[in-house]
Amino acid sequence: MYKNTNQEVRDWINKGICGFLPFYHEDGGNYTKLIFLHNPPMIVEKRICTVLMRFAGFFLKDLRLIRQKAREITGQRSLNPLPINHNMILVPFKIRKPIGRDDGAMGYFFSDSIDDVREDGDGVRVFLRDGQHYRILETLSTARHHMGFAHQIYFHLLRNGVGDDTCYDSCKEPMGTYNSVYDQPATKGDMALVFKNIGKLAHILDKLQK
C-alpha cells in the first residue's frame, strides 16, 4: 500500500503539483482536485485531508505535527500554511461553502506557485505562475494575511537551517513504516524530483531579490 502511494505522489510532483482543492463531484462524492502547473487538473476520489496526509507522508512528515509547528511559528491557532518541507509551503484559502459539517472549505496552493492574489471582477482570485486563476471566498486582506504567514514560516525555516531538515525532525513520521519504500537506490524519477526542487528554490530566491 505504501509503495503504491509513494509512486502516486511522485507522479504528482513530476507533473508539477501546485495545489489541492476540495471538490464536490456530480456523483455526490467529496473529492480532491489536484492542480498542476502546465498540466490539466486531476480528480482524486479522496477527501482533501486524506490526500494531504498522503502527500506529507511521502516526505516522511506527520500532518498533525506540521500543523503544530506552524502554530508555534505564527502564533495563530488555525488556518496556518503547511510547511511540508523548506520549499513546499501550502497556503490555505477558503474555496467553497461546505455542505456537510466536516466536508472542508479550505484549499491549498504552494506559495512558490502563486504569482499574485488580487481582486478581479467577481471577487478575489489566486493567480498562478502559468496563468491559471482560481476564485477564493476570502477578502483581499485575509488572503494577503495567509500569504504573509507563509512568508513568515519560510523565513523562520530558512533562518533555522531547515534546508537539510535538521530542525524539522519533530514533524517526521516513524521511519519503520516507510523503510521498505525509501531504502532503495535513487531512480531517474527521484533525480528529476531533486532537480525540480532546486528549480523551485531558485525561483523563490529570485523573487526575494526583487
**Angstrom distance (rounded) from CA 165 to CA 35:** 26
Q: What is the DSSP letter of 208?
A: H
Q: Model pTM?
A: 0.77
For the ranges 8-12, 41-45, 82-86, which has the lowest average pLDDT?
82-86
Long-range contacts, 46-49 (Cβ 8 Å, 24+): 47/22, 47/104, 48/20, 48/21, 48/22, 48/104, 48/106, 48/107, 49/104
Give me the helix-helix angle, 2-15 and 48-58, nearest 10°. 90
Please report which confidence band the pLDDT of residue 32 belongs to, taking 50, 70 and 90 as the band edges. Answer: very high
Q: Between 65 and 208, where is the model more confident?
A: 65
How high is the mean pLDDT of the chain?
A: 83
Quote the pLDDT of residue 25. 93
Q: How far apart are the C-alpha atoms of 10 and 54, rounded to whole Å?
A: 11
Per-residue confidence (pLDDT) for residue 58, from 0 to 100: 94
Per-residue pLDDT at 166: 42
In this prediction, residues 60-70 reach a mean pLDDT of 95
| pLDDT range class, residue 193, cuts 50, 70, 90 | low
Q: Using CA atoms, how far apart are residues 67 and 70, in angstroms rounded to an integer?
A: 5
Q: Extract the C-alpha cell encoding 107.
A: 484549499
Q: Is the pLDDT of residue 164 over 50?
A: no
pLDDT at 201: 55
In this structure, the number of other CB atoms found within 10 A of the CB of residue 75 comes to: 9
Q: Cβ atoms within 10 A of the Cβ of 150, count?
A: 25
pLDDT in tens, 75-121: 999 999 999 987 899 999 999 999 988 889 999 999 999 999 999 98
Q: pLDDT tens digit string along 148-161?
A: 999 999 999 988 86
Amino acid identity, residue 87? N
* pLDDT band per the 50, 70, 90 thresholds, residue 202: low
Residue 111, CB-side half-sphere exposure with 13 Å CA sphere? 30
**pLDDT at 197 exceeding the cut of 80:** no
> What would the mean pLDDT of 68-78 be, rounded to a whole number?
94
Proportion of the chain above pLDDT 90, given as a percent? 66
Q: Which residues share a beta bridge with 23? A: 31
